[in-house]
Amino acid sequence: MTLLLGSRKWGVVSGKSNFKSAVTEETIPFRTWQLLNLLADGEFHSGEDFARQLGVSRASVFNALADVADYGVVLQRIRGRGYRLARPWQRLDRDEILRRLGQDAGKFDVEILPQASSSNTLLLQRAGLDFANGGAPSGSVLAVELQTAGRGRRGRAWHSGLGTALTFSLLWRFDRGLNALSGLSLAVGVAKMRALKKLGAQGVQLKWPNDVLTGHGKLGGVLIEAQGDVLGPSVVVIGIGLNFTLSPHLLEQIDQPVSALDEVCAVMPARNQLLAVLLQELADVLQQFAQDGFSAFREEWEQCHIHSNKPVKLQAPDGSTVSGIARGVSDSGELRLETAQGMRCFNSGEIGVRLRDGGAERSGAGASASHPQPQSGLSANVSGVRLRDGGAERSGAGASASHPQPQSGLSANVPGVRLR
């Protein structure tokens, strides 16, 4: 018995790994996934029909669907008609995504998992070796229908339900080293903005370094993790989360202002279309970034900045704050803040942006796409760096010394990038 998700069989993902070995938390039982797959069309299906199709009892069908509300699924049960999803979910389909990518399809290796704890975690495991020695190729994409332990910057959780968000990770390899990745996170924000505008999204802007906001709250975010050598080569895994819709079940879990694509698009794109357009824009931006760095995107990013020329308050992890006027960003992605002491630049790191109106943050909600907890070892911000080595914090202009191989547990942050 196999479960089809788009053109993918449940038992094997791209012929590379068994689904059960790839998924770290089996939140939804296999039988439940089978039934949700059949219910995706939004039509009524009787328990008797399900039982006959799957070769199980009606009681097994009932039990398999008993707890779907825990995953944000609203299931209608009507005597004499059967079961129907109150809101049909659009399944991700690899063949459809590749079709929409057109001539760009060859740039990507797309995989779709029904569920996983973290798409970034899985891709990072595959990025440990270079491509010549069996590592995942540049352009590897892992999209997850239901992410069970999605996490974003500063340890925040990314909440999503079945079909309510687009959560995926993209692996990309650079010849350049880790020091040259400054501003990458902001460049990825530019790619997201280009994709959303192409799909007709209105009133979307960027919050430093790369959160996408609307007038209602946070629409999506990014978390980037990297491995490699200071002098190169390097590999990044870009985790992206975008809210497609917001169910009451999800809103109960989130205590910050949030937004969804159906609030800003007059005509909603299909999830497969959204992923394809995002991948195309990401590929264009990453290729140009490899040649020209963030300076090629600086002006475009500043045009999208929600806090441009507005009073802001930056809050550091130690609780200290700096107030001033946001005056754009540097060529390396640092926020330029005009303060009473003059112009100052701040690296993204773990500094939050807060409007001065009472100190309440109005510009974000939730977190970006998933990532694992940072490992022990060196942790640093390249470009306006904060280096932590053996627990001692020291300042520097960049990571100058070489470091162990990716398997060593090295951890660092380049403006919006976590280096591992």
> Can you tell me whether residue 32 is helix, strand or coil?
helix
- Considering Cα of 23, then 166, then 47, then 66, what sign does the dihedral take? positive
354 in catalytic set? yes
- The residue annotated as part of the active site, out of 31, 94, 126, 153, is 153
Annotated active-site residue 194? The verdict is no
Q: If you search the block for the tokens 């910050």, which residue do you land on?
A: 256
Identify whether 207 is a catalytic site residue.
Answer: no
Q: Is 40 left (phi over 0), alpha (psi -120 to 50) or beta?
A: alpha
The catalytically annotated residue of 218, 271, 386, 418 is 218
- What are the backbone angles phi and psi of residue 366, rounded to the nearest 5°? 75, -160
Query: Which tokens go with 379?
Result: 């942790």
**CA 200/CA 195 separation, integer angstroms:** 9
Q: Which residues pair with 394 in a beta bridge?
A: 387
Cα separation, 285 vs 114, in Å, equals 28
Letter string b/e over residues 386-407, b meaning 16 or more CB atoms within 10 A of that residue's CB = bbeeeeeeeeeebbeeebeebe
CA distances from 314 to 215, 338, 350 (A): 21, 12, 10
Helices 30-39 and 47-54, axial angle in degrees (round to 10): 120
CB 253 within 8 A of CB 366: no
Decide if 221 contacts 241 (C-beta within 8 A): yes
Stated as kind and residue range, the H or E segment containing 288 is: helix 271-292
Spatial contact of 191 and 284, defined as CB atoms under 8 Å apart: yes
Q: Could you list the active site residues? A: 153, 218, 354
